[in-house]
Structure 1
Amino acid sequence: MTAHRLLTPRWLATGGAVLLAGVIGVALLLHDGGAACAAPPATSTQKGKATFYDLSGGTGNCNFAPPADDLYVALGRTQYAGATSCGSYLDVTGPKGTVQVKVFDSCPECAVGHLDLSRTAFKRIANESAGVVPITYRAVPNAPAPGPLSITFAEGSSPYWWAILIDNHANPIVSVQAKGPGRDWMTATHASYNYWIIDRNTGNGPFTIRMTDSYGHVATATGVKLLPTRRQATPVRFTGKAVAAKGSGAPAKKAEPATSKPGASSAPVAPSASASASTPASSVPVSPRSDRNADGLVQGPPVVLAAAPAAPSCG
């Protein structure tokens, strides 16, 4: 079965593609996250099927670098839930055993319960020659992350518009807020390619960024600098004891309880249904808005978008 894909990173990188990609990003956001039934996988055991695909460079729709262990999964539109599932972990059990995988990508043609695994992950649970196998799977709350939370500003981020990619959070993130020195909290909007965007005058920073996961944990990173494309390790985690990041001037903190509101260019490996298009951090399909007033401020408040894993899913 030939894998069907959306736009590839190579296409997105060509001249004049950024504007069109922005339109497509908005369309995918509405398609993936707009349905009331869209929600990440539940923590209760579900039945489904698994296929596999190969990632030929780049990143998945979640825009993460491939995990060091090569254990990842692409989810269909409903369970991808407008990128809310990105970075969470699933336990997948097949004929040969169980593997834990990171939600890394979207699979445009996968129905609810159809998990498109990396080849490495698939081989942990079944014989590669089987192609398609029945599975059970469940979301893993508070899965161990490979390190503390990291934050990367997208290329083109500035004091007037920025987008951040957050990694190593393990649980789905449902809210991100940020503020600079002497400023009020600003709420970020979550895009379907997994960047959190603030489209207004944010100031030069450094920023305090407050992140809330789907289980009510809150982690706050301080001293985050506006350094586009540079991955910044923070000293905080949502779960467990925080470990101070090397070179970080901020003290280590424990996750705080919530007290207020908060593509991959994949080789066509049979029998994978699909592997999604991705957008590398260097070509995020959004751009700073130009509709600013004389003071350089964007008109209108930011929009809050967050999907809760507890919502019912549908097929």
Structure 2
Amino acid sequence: MSAHRSKFTVRWLAAGGAAVLAGVLGVAMLLTNGGSACAAPPGTTAKTGKATFYDLAATSGNCSFEVPADDLYVALGPGQYSEGAACGAYLDVTGPKGKVRVKVFDSCPECAPGHLDLSRTAFKKIGNEIDGIIPIKYKLVANPSTPAPISVRIKEGASRYWFAARIDNHANLLSSVKVSSGGGFKTAHRTDFNYWLIDAGAGAGPFKIKITDVYGNTATLTGISMSPGTVQRTGVRMTGGSATVAGKTTAPTKAAKKSPIAKTSSATPSPAVSTSGPAAPLPESTVADSGAASIEPTQPLVDLAAAPSNC
């Protein structure tokens, strides 16, 4: 049910102060080890690195998100992109002129660990555009605020026999997504283009979707319909150490260009499914916050400092 396609992006680099135009194939290579993604604990301490900038030459990055309204986003190299596990997280990046918060939005196949490829808008907030490359410090943000509640987009081509959904505005790195259509929950696996798949399908819907982040925060999104190509906005937030729930609304949006697909994975979700959470079952329309105050992850995060050591 999946297609293979590539994305051509334009990235601006600098050599000796001169900007160099480089066209690259925007496909993140899968880095697997025994069927699971390579990832290592990063913590949220500041790391050092360098930043360049690029201009997006498509309607979406490899994370399949719409371009943020503030145009503040970042592309990460294969080791830090980690097969899409970093998608939707936020980094605070400090450069010579100040600090900016960016959303992980895209992959940068040629970027080594510590090399962040920022949107031009983000780069100009922390450095001089003419420099092309600047030294930076950066860190993963735990429990950031998000510009909107969580949304779900069912992928084109999905049906009762093949489930594919993108989750946005979840704030922290996601560890698991489970889906029910009136029966038991099925566990979805993440692709490197940031859709969660159930290859045998999850039924015709409407769906309940349980999401869990690496800090143990969980939310159940209800009333999600089988509406491919539509962004379904919920009233659920799971961020900043607290979460709220409101009634779900479904807002059709103009069909965007299909998500750039590098390669689908039939492996176990990465990171692995979290088994932490409240002892008592939650009502279906509530969100639990379990352990956000300590900002200690319940499982390994994406290593934003160096390439995974077990690849």
* TM-score, normalising length: structure 2: 0.74
- 3-state SS in 2 of match to 1:226: coil
* Conserved? CA contact 1:40–1:81, under 8 Å: no
Report the aligned-residue RMSD: 2.6
Deviations 1:19-60 (A, max 9, x none): xxxxx88xx334599687535864110000000001133100
Q: CA deviation at 1:174?
A: 1.1
State the partner residue of 1:196: 196
Tell me how many residue pairs correspond in the alignment: 252
Task: Report the CA distance shift for 1:51/1:169 in structure 2 as closer, same or farther (over 3 A).
Answer: same
State the partner residue of 2:289: none
> Which of 14, 24, 38 pairs up with 1:5?
24
* Conserved? CA contact 1:75–1:106, under 8 Å: yes
State the partner residue of 1:304: 268
Q: Which moved more, 1:196-205 or 1:82-91?
A: 196-205
Task: Report the CA distance shift for 1:146/1:245 in structure 2 as closer, same or farther (over 3 A).
Answer: farther
State the partner residue of 2:68: 67
State the partner residue of 2:224: 224
Task: Report the CA distance shift for 1:116/1:282 in structure 2 as closer, same or farther (over 3 A).
Answer: closer
Q: Which has the higher contact order (CA 8 A, sep 6+)?
A: 1
State the partner residue of 1:107: 108
Q: CA deviation at 1:311?
A: 6.2
Task: Report the CA distance shift for 1:245/1:76 in structure 2 as closer, same or farther (over 3 A).
Answer: farther
- 3-state SS in 1 of match to 2:24: coil
Gaps of 5+ in 1: 8-23, 249-278, 288-301
* TM-score, normalising length: structure 1: 0.73
Residue pairs, 1:40-119, within 5 angstroms: 42-119=43-120
Gaps of 5+ in 2: 1-19, 251-255, 272-298
State the partner residue of 2:16: none
Aligned amino acid, residue 305 of structure 1: P
Deviations 1:155-194 (A, max 9, x none): 010000011011011111110001111x111000100000
Q: Share of identical aligned residues, percent?
A: 51
Deviations 1:204-246 (A, max 9, x none): 1111100011111111101111110010011212223425256
Q: Which has the higher helix share?
A: 1
State the partner residue of 1:256: none
* Conserved? CA contact 1:208–1:220, under 8 Å: yes
* Conserved? CA contact 2:32–2:38, under 8 Å: no
State the partner residue of 1:314: 306
State the partner residue of 1:123: 124
Deviations 1:247-280 (A, max 9, x none): 36xxxxxxxxxxxxxxxxxxxxxxxxxxxxxx94
Q: CA deviation at 1:85?
A: 0.6
